[in-house]
Amino acid sequence: MENKKSIYKISGILVLLVFMLGFILAGCTAQNKTASETTTPQTETATATETTAVETQSTDQLSEQPDKAKYDEYFTDFYLGKLPPGKQIGPPDNIPIKTAVFITSEDEFCVVINLKKDIPGSFSFAIYDTVTKKDFTPKTVFPVALNVGGHAWADDPTVVYPTGKYEYKLYIDDTLVAVVPFEVR
């Protein structure tokens, strides 16, 4: 009988502690929400400036600067993505997830582009190793014509690049139009 009373007391104390913790957390959340809702124009300006600085910094760190005007002429989107091993690219369920980090032998390395204009000349890509400062995969002409619309392809069943940092470069004819940094872990 005494054991039951002790269990009830302990249970009651635990319930009381849980409620108190809930009220404390609710109060903290409300305070944080109020503080975040009262941002000043200076805070918004600082955030916008930091974002621009980060974007500029990452662009400046590329091995080469792409021709943005030519990119904008042909592309609406270009990104690297991944699929789990064994999955095939295809709508609606197997659209590659945008990423810049790939895990060796776990992720399927994919390229996704959306064209707003047919590419009349040659379309090629290269993979540049940013550590050795050499092409890991030399410029290779894409084997088929690309027309307006979305396209996606997988380079390999799983990532086969050694761990390191790379850039995926796209060319139209001999003009570099996009550079996307990525990392393999």
Number of domains in the chain: 2
Same-domain status, 87 and 144: yes
pLDDT value at 184 more than 80: yes
pTM of the model: 0.65
Are residues 52 and 123 part of one domain? no
Please check the confidence at residue 13 and state whether its pLDDT lies above 50: no
* Same-domain pairing of 29 and 74: no
Looking at the fold, whether 116 and 179 belong to one and the same domain comes out as yes
Residue 126 confidence (pLDDT): 95
pLDDT at 45 over 50: no
- 78 plus 96 within the same structural domain: yes
Same domain as 83, residue 46: no
For range 35-56, the mean pLDDT? 35
Residues 80 and 103 in one domain: yes
Do 42 and 99 lie in one domain? The reply is no
Whether residues 9 and 83 fall in one domain: no
Q: What is the pLDDT of residue 128?
A: 97
* CATH classification at residue 118: 2.60.40.1930
Residue that wins the pLDDT comparison between 40 and 58: 58
Mean pLDDT of the chain: 73
d(C-alpha 44, C-alpha 52), whole Å:
12
Question: What is d(CA 174, CA 170) in angstroms, rounded to the nearest whole number?
Answer: 10
DSSP string, 74-140: HEEEEEEEEE-TT---BTTTBPPEE-SEE-TTTSEEEEEEEESS---S-EEEEEEETTTTEEEEEEE
Q: Is the pLDDT of residue 12 over 60?
A: no
The larger pLDDT score, comparing residue 94 to residue 56, is at: 94
- The reply to whether 54 and 73 lie within a common domain is no
What are the strands of the beta sheet with 97-98, ordered from one edge? 97-98, 75-83, 108-115, 149-154
pLDDT digits (tens, 9 = 90+) for 155-182: 655 677 899 999 999 999 999 999 999 9
Res 4 pLDDT > 50:
no
Residue at a domain's end among 18, 42, 59: 59
pLDDT at 165: 96
54 and 125 part of one domain: no
Tokens 């790939």 correspond to what residue? 102
10 and 83 in a single domain? The answer is no
Q: What domain range is 30 assigned to? A: 2-59
**Rounded CA separation 37/30 (Å):** 11
Give pLDDT, residue 1. Answer: 57
pLDDT of residue 71 exceeding 50 = yes
Helix H or strand E encompassing 175: strand 175-184
Kindly report the CA angle at 152 between 108 and 56, in degrees rounded to 5? 85
